[in-house]
A and B are shown apart, each in its own frame.
Chain A
Amino acid sequence: MSSVTRNRLVAGDSTTSVLVARGVLAASALAFFASWLVLFQWVDETALVAGVHVLKLLGVALVAAGVGLTVVGVGSRLEYFESTPSSSAGLPVGFVFGLLWAVLGGLVATRLLGNALAMWLPVAAGFGIVGLLVSVLPREDVGSTLPVAAILVLLGGYVVVGGINAGWTWSPSWSSAVFPGSELVPLLVVFGALLSAWSAAKAREGFGAEGRQSGAYYLVGSVVFAMLGVLALLVAFIVKNGLETMLTRTSLTGGHLTLPFVGSVPWAEFPFLMNQTGGLFVEVPGVLPAVMGTLWLVFGAVLFAVPLGIGAAVFLTEYAERGRFTQVVEVATNGLWSTPSIVFGLFGLAFLVPRISGGNSIFVGQLVLGFMLLPLVLITSREAILAVPDEHRDASAALGVTKWETIRSVVLPAAMPGTITGVILGVGRIAGETAPLLLVFGGSPYPSSYPNVLGSFQFSTQPPFVTNDALLSPASALPYQLYSTITAGVFPKEIFTNTEFGWGTALVLLCVVLGLYAIGVGSRLYFRRKLHHE
């Protein structure tokens, strides 16, 4: 076993390299967060921190990280620090660095030599090969630090000397896009920070297997963090833009509520939520018709799709023999779920509208959205039913209980959480659906009354015995309202511009969808609790 290297069981005391690596990690983290702040414009790109431009500070951080990495890598190679590196950083790392270096070389070459292919391509290829060789040939401690350090120092140095600043723009001739330095620098710094964090995390654990584990942990962690940051920014952006509209003339006790026997009592007033959108006497236009429209749409679609979807799933899993037929149905449902919604809308317009209401209507909207929801409910409930262990079915059959009773009392309750998950996902999609609503549902963009579905039922002794005018009339829904408001150009009331009203509508839509989610998650938790002792 002479070819197996043995490292010391207890790591030696190499505090200097760990300290430097930690410093590099800290610098990367700071640069990372600071760049996001600049990108989101929470910090102005021309701001001065301690008398220095913020972008230059970012460059300094990159250079410092690069220098630190060089110290750790070279120090480890010269056995000045104790570490346990492998013989090479490995080909995958080499290819990544080769690619990065090639890009870098290409950029430098186009800057210095012009855009001719014959000029920059050899330079880029040369840089790429050097990057690959420098990462792969030396020992891991050099191979995974020096290529990173070189990139960091180059990028950071260029920013520090003012090669790129806030006012600088890059408008490549092959594209009509313009990249201002205020966005390009933070983006490059985010990218560089990820690289240096990976390298420093490896160095901190002394390279080798533990180092790679640590590097992967930091890299994946920062990417996840960045993704979550983008999502949080999105929500924060909508809230910031929509909140003022939503809270216009709101007061907690300004309104009045008339109760029987008590009379008028002070009541919270939310004009934007509780008012009609149009009408002569509406001071603050609101989105009540659209909210009601969306709720009715979702309610109808769920009412239509859930029983059908679960029924079909039960048939396919419990009764039908697995074979060609079930496979075809499986493929077809998957296909239906990925069918673009406008296609469903066109079907509704061409087939359902002439037969049911003769024009846009809530009922057709509910049916079309129900068709869209159906495949997802079917797919998820089928998976959930298949996941119910056969032992339960056997146990029930051994007690002499019939198949249908078993499905009803054992299989479906056990499959409930999975089914609800599917309905939640589906409702999230259809509640924000706009395209089919444009074709089969939407009416006036500024409705002056909300759809009074419950109050419109009329019964008669003649067929069809029950009618409902409200269901057969067009209405407004939040995504439809949003679309028609922001494309209208001018808002009829002076209190809002159409953009302000749009942001308010978007915020309400977000709240409604999150509310529906909350209901779904709550009911799923309830069924989980019932099934497992949690």
Chain B
Amino acid sequence: MSNTEAVHEPSEPAQQLTTTGESDERVREEWTEYDFAGDAKLAVEDLDVYYGDEQALQSISLDVPEESVTALIGPSGCGKSTFLRCLNRMNDRVKSARIDGSVQLDDEEIYTDGVNLVELRKRIGMVFQEPNPFPKSIRDNISYGPRKHGDLDTGLLARVLGRDDREQEADLVERALRRAALWDEVEDRLDDNALGLSGGQQQRLCIARALAVDPDVILMDEPASALDPIATAKIEDLIEELAEDYTVVVVTHNMQQAARISDQTAVFLTGGELVEYGDTDQIFENPESQRVEDYITGKFG
């Protein structure tokens, strides 16, 4: 995993000097402050992540506005994927990970005792780098989440008791696939195995699968990096459309992609620190940090 690549020398929190960047400039607090209209969907406050003894994220604070696309960019090993996986507590699955700080979804803390992980992950869906559909039919891939959450019941018992949800299932599958712009391509082969789809179709299926449980937030971890340019363009269009109804946070190492699809951009640099966060146009045209400028213009990273 790229997360463990982050190498960092412990430093005083007061004076955060990077030791691996090209310049030794200090991160100023106002660079990461981003004012936007409306409420914050996700509010991250002083988030530290350690893998064993290595610190992967350093005191990240960042607010994600509702119904928008937020891009996280940065070189490999800068902790952007780690950050993303903190937002739906997927890092709990990594045994060596230790997480300090606060993440709030709609003003509710998700890093406290008694958080219902099932409910949390229903509200915050995730799409991975490699398309990972289950080895099941297209229909079963979509209805997997709702079925397991008890929202759909098409089993034998339900059929006998007359509580068959087949129509709701068909409805939900169609809605999710249409939303992910895949319906037209698969409508007459819903019972085929999902592994028979092309890479781009599989990734849109994974997005549809995440949409089927009706989340508020969708996290995407380099969703197009394993795809060809045409499939990538389709995913990018889809992300922009999704931002009308959902809050999308997308990790990418493709800066043009971030510039094309995102409303705001957060730049992580080596060492697991957030260097600059702001309007995408401003970050790409007139960054305040010298290191961010170097990174964006391709001088390092």
A interface vs B, CB < 8 Å?
389, 391-392, 394-402, 405, 409-410, 413-414, 530-533
Given contacts A392-B134, A400-B120, A401-B118, 10 further A-B contacts (CB under 8 A): A391-B132, A394-B132, A395-B133, A395-B134, A398-B125, A399-B145, A401-B145, A413-B136, A530-B193, A532-B195
- In the assembled complex, 20 residue pairs joining A and B whose CB atoms fall closer than 8 Å, in A order, are A389-B132, A394-B93, A395-B134, A396-B144, A398-B121, A398-B128, A399-B121, A399-B144, A399-B148, A399-B209, A399-B213, A400-B117, A400-B118, A400-B120, A400-B213, A401-B118, A402-B118, A409-B144, A409-B148, A530-B193
Nearest-Cβ distance from residue A105 to partner chain B, whole angstroms: 62
Residues on B with C-beta less than 8 A from A396 are 134, 144
Residues on B with C-beta less than 8 A from A405 are 148
B interface vs A, CB < 8 Å?
88, 90, 93, 117-122, 125-126, 128, 130, 132-136, 144-145, 148-149, 192-193, 195-196, 206, 209-210, 213
Q: How far apart sit A530 and B196, CA to CA, in the bound complex (Å)?
A: 12
Q: How far apart sit A256 and B111, CA to CA, in the bound complex (Å)?
A: 76
Nearest-Cβ distance from residue A394 to partner chain B, whole angstroms: 6
Residues on A with C-beta less than 8 A from B90 are 394, 397-398
Nearest-Cβ distance from residue A530 to partner chain B, whole angstroms: 8
Nearest-Cβ distance from residue A401 to partner chain B, whole angstroms: 4
A-B residue pairs, 6 tightest by C-beta:
A400-B121, A533-B196, A391-B132, A398-B126, A533-B193, A399-B145
Most chain B CB neighbours (cut-off 10 Å) among A392, A400, A413, A533: A400
Q: Smallest CB-CB separation from A389: which chain B residue? A: B132
Nearest-Cβ distance from residue B112 to partner chain A, whole angstroms: 18
Residues on A with C-beta less than 8 A from B144 are 396, 399, 401, 409
B195 touches A400 (CB 8 A): no
Q: How far apart sit A417 and B122, CA to CA, in the bound complex (Å)?
A: 31
Q: How far apart sit A262 and B43, CA to CA, in the bound complex (Å)?
A: 80
Nearest-Cβ distance from residue A397 to partner chain B, whole angstroms: 6
Nearest-Cβ distance from residue B248 to partner chain A, whole angstroms: 15
Q: Smallest CB-CB separation from A403: which chain B residue? A: B93
Most chain B CB neighbours (cut-off 10 Å) among A389, A391, A399, A402: A399
Q: Pick the contact of B149: A398, A400, A410 (CB < 8 A).
A: A400
Residues on B with C-beta less than 8 A from A532 are 135, 193, 195
Q: How far apart sit A397 and B209, CA to CA, in the bound complex (Å)?
A: 13
Q: Smallest CB-CB separation from A410: which chain B residue? A: B134
Q: How far apart sit A429 and B210, CA to CA, in the bound complex (Å)?
A: 46
Nearest-Cβ distance from residue A166 to partner chain B, whole angstroms: 61
Given A402-B118, A409-B144, A531-B193, verify A395-B125 contact (CB < 8 Å). Answer: no
Nearest-Cβ distance from residue A529 to partner chain B, whole angstroms: 9
Nearest-Cβ distance from residue A252 to partner chain B, whole angstroms: 42
Residues on B with C-beta less than 8 A from A398 are 88, 90, 121, 125-126, 128, 210
Q: Pick the contact of B128: A395, A400, A410, A533 (CB < 8 A).
A: A395
Q: How far apart sit A392 and B135, CA to CA, in the bound complex (Å)?
A: 9
Q: Smallest CB-CB separation from A397: which chain B residue? A: B93
B128 touches A391 (CB 8 A): yes
Most chain A CB neighbours (cut-off 10 Å) among B90, B118, B132, B133: B132
Q: How far apart sit A402 and B145, CA to CA, in the bound complex (Å)?
A: 11
Q: How far apart sit A399 and B147, CA to CA, in the bound complex (Å)?
A: 11
Q: Smallest CB-CB separation from A408: which chain B residue? A: B148
Q: Smallest CB-CB separation from B117: which chain A residue? A: A400
Nearest-Cβ distance from residue B259 to partner chain A, whole angstroms: 27
Residues on B with C-beta less than 8 A from A397 are 90, 93, 121
Nearest-Cβ distance from residue B221 to partner chain A, whole angstroms: 10
B128 touches A394 (CB 8 A): yes
Q: How far apart sit A391 and B90, CA to CA, in the bound complex (Å)?
A: 12
Residues on A with C-beta less than 8 A from B118 are 400-402
Q: How far apart sit A409 and B155, CA to CA, in the bound complex (Å)?
A: 13
Residues on B with C-beta less than 8 A from A533 are 192-193, 195-196
Residues on A with C-beta less than 8 A from B122 are 399-400
Q: Smallest CB-CB separation from B90: which chain A residue? A: A398
Q: How far apart sit A499 and B144, CA to CA, in the bound complex (Å)?
A: 60
Q: How far apart sit A79 and B133, CA to CA, in the bound complex (Å)?
A: 63
A399 touches B196 (CB 8 A): no
Q: Smallest CB-CB separation from B192: which chain A residue? A: A533
Q: Smallest CB-CB separation from B127: which chain A residue? A: A398
Residues on B with C-beta less than 8 A from A414 are 135
Q: How far apart sit A399 and B148, CA to CA, in the bound complex (Å)?
A: 9
A395 touches B135 (CB 8 A): no
Nearest-Cβ distance from residue A503 to partner chain B, whole angstroms: 46
Residues on B with C-beta less than 8 A from A531 are 135, 193
Q: Smallest CB-CB separation from B120: which chain A residue? A: A400
Residues on A with C-beta less than 8 A from B128 are 391, 394-395, 398
Nearest-Cβ distance from residue B119 to partner chain A, whole angstroms: 7
Q: Smallest CB-CB separation from B92: which chain A residue? A: A397
Q: How far apart sit A394 and B130, CA to CA, in the bound complex (Å)?
A: 11
Q: How far apart sit A16 and B193, CA to CA, in the bound complex (Å)?
A: 57
B121 touches A395 (CB 8 A): no
Q: How far apart sit A398 and B192, CA to CA, in the bound complex (Å)?
A: 24
Residues on A with C-beta less than 8 A from B88 are 398
Q: Smallest CB-CB separation from A401: which chain B residue? A: B148
Nearest-Cβ distance from residue A527 to partner chain B, whole angstroms: 10
Q: Smallest CB-CB separation from A399: which chain B residue? A: B145
Residues on A with C-beta less than 8 A from B132 are 389, 391-392, 394-395
Residues on A with C-beta less than 8 A from B206 are 395
Most chain A CB neighbours (cut-off 10 Å) among B120, B133, B135: B135
Residues on B with C-beta less than 8 A from A410 are 134
Q: Smallest CB-CB separation from B131: which chain A residue? A: A391
Nearest-Cβ distance from residue B186 to partner chain A, whole angstroms: 13
B93 touches A400 (CB 8 A): no
Q: Smallest CB-CB separation from B209: which chain A residue? A: A399
Nearest-Cβ distance from residue A198 to partner chain B, whole angstroms: 44
